[in-house]
Amino acid sequence: MLTTKKQTSGSKSSGLKAETEGFIIAAQDQSLATRSYHASIIKDGSSPLCRMCNKYDETIEHIVSGCPELAKTEYTHRHDKAAAYIHRKVCHNYNIKTSEKTVV
């Protein structure tokens, strides 16, 4: 669970900077300045289409997991980084020595 700025110094701190937490909360609330947000909430007349693929509305969900252009590179990179982190933690937990190449 994320904490508010006032809670970051308490025992339930997420370990994230308040600025980072604020960004995550804004993303969860769908209130980041995506093109879809500008087109549908601000109603500034701009296109809601994704600036990467220009095919689908640029929403938070689209950016995080639905963009065909980002899928070619960024999603794979994110997957590999997460898998390497989990691998390293599992190996550490079971005292399995890992090579330097697996360090994230």
Interface with Zn ion by CB under 5 A: which residues?
A: 50, 52-53, 67
Taking the least distance from each CB to Zn ion, the nearer of 2 and 39 is 39
What's the closest the beta carbon of residue 67 comes to Zn ion, in angstroms? Answer: 3
What's the closest the beta carbon of residue 34 comes to Zn ion, in angstroms? Answer: 11
Taking the least distance from each CB to Zn ion, the nearer of 38 and 87 is 38
What's the closest the beta carbon of residue 61 comes to Zn ion, in angstroms? Answer: 11
SS3 string of the chain?
CCCCHHHCCCCCCCCCCHHHHHHHHHHHCCCCCCHHHHHHHHCCCCCCECCCCCCCECCHHHHHHHCHHHHCCHHHHHHHHHHHHHHHHHHHHCCCCCCHHHCC
What's the closest the beta carbon of residue 39 comes to Zn ion, in angstroms? Answer: 14
Within 13 Å of residue 49, how many CA atoms lie on the same side as its CB?
7
Taking the least distance from each CB to Zn ion, the nearer of 21 and 36 is 36
Taking the least distance from each CB to Zn ion, the nearer of 21 and 60 is 60
